[in-house]
Structure 1
Amino acid sequence: GLDSFKVEGRNKTEFYAGSVARVYRAAIDDYVKDPQNWCADDYMDEINSVANRGYTLAFHEGRLTNLAHDYESTGSTSFYEYAGRVVGWDSNDNMIFEGKNRLDAGDVLEFLSPHQREPILLRIYEFRHAKDGKITDKLHAGQKPQILIPASDFHLFDKDQIKKLLPEFSLVRKEKNNIESEKLKVESRELSHQLEAGNVNETKYQNKRQKYFQACEIGDLQISPRTPRIGQEGCCGKGCNGCLIFWHDEKYKKARELLKGKKIGEML
Structure 2
Amino acid sequence: MKVGFIGYGSMADLLTRQFLAHTDLAPSEIIVYTRSENEKLKDIHEVFPDVTIAKTSQEVFEQAVHTFLCVLPLGVLPVLLENKQALSSNKHVISIAAGVSINDLKHVTTDAQYSKLIPSLTTSVGIGTSLVNHDASVSEANQTWLNDALGAFSSVIEVAEEDIDLASDLTSSSPGFIAAIFEQFVQAAVRKSDLTEAEVFQMISNSLAGTSKLLAEQDYTFHSLIKRVATKGGITAEGVALSEDKLPAFFDELLERTERKYDDHHKEIKDQIKTLF
TM range (shorter): under 0.3
TM-score scaled by structure 1? 0.23
The structure where strand makes up a greater share of residues is 1
Of structures 1 and 2, the one with the larger relative CO (CA 8 A, separation 6+) is: 1
Larger Rg: 2
